[in-house]
Amino acid sequence: MPNVRRAGPVTTDPAPHKVINPPTDITKIKSTDARASFRSALAGAAFDRLKDALESVECRPRDHVSYVLALCPAHDDREPSLAVYRKPGRARVVCHAGCDDVAVLAALGLGVADLFDEPRAPYAASRRFQSVPQVRTVRSVRRRVAPLEPAVVVGAYRYADETGRTLYVKERLEPKRFRQFVPTPGGRQWTLNGTRRVLYRLPEVLEAVADGRLIFLCEGEKDTESVRSAGVVATTWTDGAWQPGAAPKWRPEYSEQLFGGWVVIVRDRDRAGRATAWDVAGELRSVAAGVQVVRPAYGKDAFDHLAAGLGVSDFIAEENGELV
């Protein structure tokens, strides 16, 4: 029995796993023939083990000829970006978003030894064949995901530097989800790691700061575009809102880009929206010329408010309606 239990509710009815029971140590099998037959009995064991583990954490592995594609358990994956290949004597994992193999295995409750069909004693004997039941009997902390449906890109938002050069692009898909990429000469890099982060429509933001015009800081690109269509300068950041008490997804560079500006934070009317707006207001106090938090007078966000025919002057100011 595994002596370390992982977090998460225990499933009541673990399915029987397919891994055959090997001798505890293959090196104890003397005969070459016996060892060979043991090997062939184990062929594909690592591949099956990974596939089972992916299934058990609802990463939805889908079969292809010599590999499976699944949601990657190590990052917030909405498109299947993890490939598991069947190789002689072992399996190979490749996350196309760039997750480290060890991180992928760890998210499945597995270790590097689990990539191999044959146990490699003594490490393997002591741990490896405990790993599958361990995964089988606990649920991953990974949240459940909706069944995969064909997604359609319904919006593309370009994030550019002050000269207008594209740094990254965020796409909105229907059913609603987002993905981001950095355009590269060879195609798309599906991670923003190492990429400079900027506020949405940074050139317009910097111009408004210089001119002393109001900048409406919204929650998401859809709200931002809707506020812009009212004829004012609006912006957002790519990372989204956070729950009260959670680590802010606001970066110091965003504050720097608003240095000296007059900022109106338009929050969503929910707990995350309020927490986010006031956290950001706190960040901006010392750098902006003025900060005001407002909420929509109608609906759940700026988009609803404007779609109802209200204007930017109809937002409801919070904290005594004064720029503080």
Summarize as ranges the residues that interact with Zn ion (CB under 5 A).
Answer: 72, 74-75, 95, 97, 99
DSSP codes joined into one string, 174-226: ETTEEEEEEEETTEEE---TTPPP--TTHHHHHHHHHHT-EEEE-SSHHHHHH
Q: Which residue, 110 or 209, has its beta carbon nearer to Zn ion?
A: 110
- The CB-of-80 to Zn ion minimum distance in angstroms stands at 10
- The CB-of-62 to Zn ion minimum distance in angstroms stands at 16
- The CB-of-74 to Zn ion minimum distance in angstroms stands at 4
Indicate the SS3 state at residue 136: helix
- Please return the burial class of 230, using the count of CB atoms within 10 Å of its CB with bins 0-12, 13-18 and 19+: middle
Q: Which residue, 72 or 209, has its beta carbon nearer to Zn ion?
A: 72
Q: Return the structure tokens found at 194.
A: 């190492």
Q: Which residue, 114 or 223, has its beta carbon nearer to Zn ion?
A: 114
- The CB-of-227 to Zn ion minimum distance in angstroms stands at 34
Residues in Cβ contact with 68 at an 8 Å cutoff, skipping those fewer than 6 apart: 51, 54, 61, 62, 83, 84
Indicate the SS3 state at residue 95: strand
Whole-number Cα distances in Å, 76 to 170, 214, 218: 15, 35, 23
DSSP codes joined into one string, 235-261: E--TT----TTSPP---HHHHHHTTT-
DSSP codes joined into one string, 48-67: HHHHHHHHHTT---EE-SSE
10 Å Cβ neighbour count for 266? 26
- The CB-of-64 to Zn ion minimum distance in angstroms stands at 18
Q: Which residue, 29 or 103, has its beta carbon nearer to Zn ion?
A: 103
Q: Which residue, 135 or 277, has its beta carbon nearer to Zn ion?
A: 135
- The CB-of-96 to Zn ion minimum distance in angstroms stands at 8
- The CB-of-97 to Zn ion minimum distance in angstroms stands at 4
Distance of alpha carbon 200 from the chain centroid: 19
Q: Which residue, 100 or 256, has its beta carbon nearer to Zn ion?
A: 100
Q: Which residue, 98 or 290, has its beta carbon nearer to Zn ion?
A: 98
Q: Which residue, 57 or 95, has its beta carbon nearer to Zn ion?
A: 95
The residue type of 158 is R
- The CB-of-312 to Zn ion minimum distance in angstroms stands at 40
Q: Which residue, 114 or 118, has its beta carbon nearer to Zn ion?
A: 114
Indicate the SS3 state at residue 119: coil
The angle at the Cα of 57, spanning 68 to 137, to the nearest 5 degrees, equals 125
- The CB-of-60 to Zn ion minimum distance in angstroms stands at 14
Question: How many whole angstroms separate alpha carbon 33 and alpha carbon 19?
Answer: 21
Say if CB 93 and CB 104 are below 8 A apart: yes
